[in-house]
Chains A and B, each alone.
Chain A
């Protein structure tokens, strides 16, 4: 069955992130001028406003900052997947991102160590998700 959940809208800014994910690499946009690191990417560095933002391969590790269980399907593709778990991750490099927490028990605590796993949902798109690092 074809994948019918939302796929990323790939544009010139975020293309390196999704290209990296397809190669099982977790990339973050990085400022060569001041060292700021972030996701989602922006057109200039929000700290120093420099152009020429580049990408670094991140550790793919972080800590659990929150989680929710989605019980409503805002897209038809989720109708048979309810409920599904979405988490908030503070990456080791600093940025806070939203992702899915997969293969994790129900008993969770803030601060649990997480690591990235790569889910190749289509031939073209791999979505980075997170799981417990000690799981």
Chain B
């Protein structure tokens, strides 16, 4: 048995790719996934037949995916559509490569929720609390944010800072879906979906696909671009309120804290070393909860931490530089991991964080994960 901390800088991301993001009713999951895969293959210049590991998420059938791509891996793991599988999949791929189960993994995610009119609530996702009209992940996050407001005095104007900073980044990203700038006042006057949350606190629903290709440090030297190393990761589940889906009584604080400590210890970095944060922003409050759990500020202090554009490029902690789920693309964490890789490579153009060497990804969800990417 080995200590997972020994995996520091042992696994590299060698290729990343994505589709355009938007509304594509004429393309199915496999079609989008194939585009993202082809782009990731071209990004690193690998012969696709060298890929012997396959991790798919939100893909109807993994074997059809293999058929579509013409690959027959020796390790395959299908993950469900839930928005927490990116961190899980990447860490599982690291474990599989280090165990020798395969040497090069393609991780592929596709979402056709926009063109197929997915609602994320009501009869589409039945739950325990339907008789009380309580449904949708957004309502659960509204419930959590109300507690934060009441316990710590956090305001919706502070919450707006998250959406405004992330939209600012989307305006710098030519591929982002939402590219009109917004202000705090725009946030405050947007319509309520589940009060206290408004439209601009909610992620987009769009079609698209993402692919990452991972391999061992040794093999990573053979490809087109300088590899980006996975230097640290951490994990902790919070299942004790699972029947209240997407809700945690402590806003995932203990889980994010634990996962963060694992990752910082493994990577040997601290908060001051993090050049950019890629933070799962299904709903804007999740960003506040993540900042607190990771320890960028104290518990209950995230509202004041994010004020005055702290999360914007040039601020104290540039966050979701691609525009995140709120304004770039709802790729359920996968695109944020791609953005982390591109930031470390220095490929981000107008939205590039200067001298970016260390980027952290975090998902504060019932399956909390965090991953630290560096140049190794």
Those of B112-135 within 8 Å (CB) of chain A: 119, 121-123, 126, 128-135
Contacts of B27 in A (CB 8 A): none
Contacts A74-B119, A88-B143 given: A68-B150 contact, CB under 8 Å? no
Contacts of A40 in B (CB 8 A): 128, 243
Min CB gap B250→A, angstroms: 12
Task: State whether A98 touches B121 (Cβ < 8 A).
Answer: no
CA distance A6 to B129 in the complex (A): 9
Contacts of B129 in A (CB 8 A): 86, 98
A15 on the B face (CB < 8 A):
no
A69 on the B face (CB < 8 A):
yes
Contacts of A127 in B (CB 8 A): 131-132
CA distance A71 to B138 in the complex (A): 11
Output the nearest chain B residue to A69 by Cβ-Cβ distance.
Answer: B195
> Which stretch, B3-11, B46-54, B85-93, B186-194, touches the partner chain A?
B186-194
- Number of chain A residues whose Cβ lies closer than 8 Å to a Cβ of chain B: 30
Those of B141-156 within 8 Å (CB) of chain A: 142-144, 146-147, 150-151
B136 on the A face (CB < 8 A):
yes
Contacts of A5 in B (CB 8 A): 131, 133
Min CB gap B120→A, angstroms: 9
Contacts A68-B196, A69-B194, A110-B151 given: A84-B133 contact, CB under 8 Å? yes
Task: State whether A83 touches B123 (Cβ < 8 A).
Answer: no
Q: How large is the interface on B (under 10, 10 to 19, 20 to 34, 35 or more residues)?
A: 20 to 34
Task: State whether A68 touches B142 (Cβ < 8 A).
Answer: yes
Contacts A96-B241, A98-B244, A110-B147 given: A72-B133 contact, CB under 8 Å? no
Task: State whether B241 touches A70 (Cβ < 8 A).
Answer: no
Min CB gap B49→A, angstroms: 46
CA distance A74 to B139 in the complex (A): 11
Min CB gap B200→A, angstroms: 14
Contacts of B144 in A (CB 8 A): 66
Contacts of B61 in A (CB 8 A): none
CA distance A40 to B128 in the complex (A): 7
B223 on the A face (CB < 8 A):
no
Task: State whether A71 touches B191 (Cβ < 8 A).
Answer: yes
Contacts of A84 in B (CB 8 A): 133
Please list the residues of chain A having a beta carbon within 8 angstroms of any beta carbon in chain B. Answer: 5-9, 40, 65-72, 74-75, 78, 83-84, 86, 88, 96, 98-100, 109-110, 125, 127, 129
Q: Which A-B residue pairs are the 9 nearest by beta carbons?
A: A74-B122, A74-B121, A69-B195, A6-B130, A71-B192, A98-B129, A68-B142, A86-B134, A66-B146
A sample of 18 cross-chain residue pairs with beta-carbon separation below 8 angstroms, ordered by A number, consists of A5-B133, A65-B249, A66-B143, A70-B133, A70-B139, A70-B194, A71-B194, A74-B121, A74-B122, A74-B136, A75-B123, A78-B133, A86-B134, A88-B143, A98-B244, A100-B133, A125-B131, A127-B131
Please list the residues of chain B having a beta carbon within 8 angstroms of any beta carbon in chain A. Answer: 119, 121-123, 126, 128-136, 139, 142-144, 146-147, 150-151, 191-197, 241, 243-244, 249
